Amino acid sequence: MRTLVVTGGAKGIGFGVAERFAGEGWHVVVADSDPQASADAAEKLGAEAAVVDVTDRAGLVDACRAAALRTGGIDALVTSAGITRIGPSAELAEDDWRAVVDVDLTGTFLSCQAAAPHLRDGSAVVTIASTAAFRGMPGRAAYCAAKAGVVALTRCLAAEWAPRVRVNSVAPGWVDTPFLRDAARRGHVDLDELAARPPMKRLSDVTDVVGAVRFLVSDEAGFVTGQTLTVDGGWVWAS
């Protein structure tokens, strides 16, 4: 049986990824820092829950080791755990900067590092970056920097781990998730304005991102590594 570990797998993009792979018969490990959400997601999907914070290296090592012991190895890792802190760069608290970098960038690295000894030959890693890696977005210095780091990390791991493991990234645009809707409720974004930005004239749906992840894990992408697939309806390159 093929095994997927997805960090941040209880909600949003991570849950969408977990749902898609579970539906295809994979053994899915929903790794998330929220114990209740992780348990609920795992129960709904017939998956395995692993309560782990991606800033906790030891917890990640234990979760990946346990997943590998159950099925003999890990076939895919998707790193979807992420947070943001919004505020003027000149006033952004150091704690907010560190929190975002610790989860979004260091957490991605630690997740990949924890999974590495258990990744089977021919396996795939897909990191979740963001179009923020390519755009200067006011008020999001930490998020932009962290996601740009994820893109660079992906390229480094792809070069280092080839040919045994492929490592790629997906960079979503504005995705209609609870994460984004919470930002809208706080007045940080206007959903209608965001939907009007890309040439495709809508927000990304979780399924758009999941489809890109699934492709990069699949055999059809067997000669693709070190790439970042932007899923944003054309927003970054058309504006």
Q: Which pTM was predicted?
A: 0.95
Cα(165)–Cα(169) distance, integer angstroms: 13
The rounded percent of the chain whose pLDDT value lies above 90 is 87
Cα(207)–Cα(27) distance, integer angstroms: 20
The 10s digit of each residue's pLDDT in 28-39 is 999 999 999 999
Q: Hey, how many other C-beta atoms are within 10 angstroms of the C-beta on 106?
A: 18
- Confidence tier at 22 by pLDDT (50, 70, 90): very high
Residue 29, both tokens? 């490990």
The confidence score (pLDDT) of residue 186 equals 83
- Confidence tier at 180 by pLDDT (50, 70, 90): confident
Edge to edge, the sheet with strand 27-32 lists 48-51, 27-32, 3-7, 74-79, 119-128, 165-172, 228-231
The 10s digit of each residue's pLDDT in 50-88 is 999 999 999 999 999 999 999 999 999 999 999 999 999
Domain boundaries, the chain: 3-173+208-230
How crowded is the C-beta side of 76, counted as CA atoms within 13 Å?
Answer: 27
Is domain 3-173+208-230 in CATH 3.40.50.720, yes or no? yes
Backbone torsions φ then ψ of 47, nearest 5 degrees: -110, -175
The confidence score (pLDDT) of residue 182 equals 84
The confidence score (pLDDT) of residue 181 equals 85
Per the CB < 8 A criterion, the answer to whether 130 and 175 are in contact is no
How crowded is the C-beta side of 152, counted as CA atoms within 13 Å?
Answer: 11
The 10s digit of each residue's pLDDT in 220-237 is 999 999 999 999 999 998
Check whether 239 has a pLDDT greater than 70.
Answer: no
Quote the distance between the C-alpha of residue 90 and its chain's center.
Answer: 28
Nearest to 195 by CA among 186, 184, 204, 187: 204
Which residue carries 């941040």 as its tokens? Answer: 8
Does 143 qualify as catalytic in the annotation?
Answer: yes
The 10s digit of each residue's pLDDT in 162-178 is 999 999 999 999 898 88
Cα(58)–Cα(65) distance, integer angstroms: 11
The 10s digit of each residue's pLDDT in 185-232 is 888 888 999 899 999 999 999 999 999 999 999 999 999 999 999 999
Residue 193, both tokens? 């304005």
The pLDDT mean for the chain works out to 96
Q: Is the peptide bond before 117 cis (omega within 30 degrees of 0)?
A: no
Q: Stretch 114-142: mean pLDDT, rounded?
A: 97
Residue 93, both tokens? 């608290």
The confidence score (pLDDT) of residue 188 equals 80
Q: From the candidates 143, 161, 174, 235, which is the catalytic residue? A: 143
Give the Cα-Cα-Cα angle 89, 52, 74 (nearest 5 degrees): 110
Q: Which residues contact 223 (CB under 8 A, 6 or more apart)?
A: none
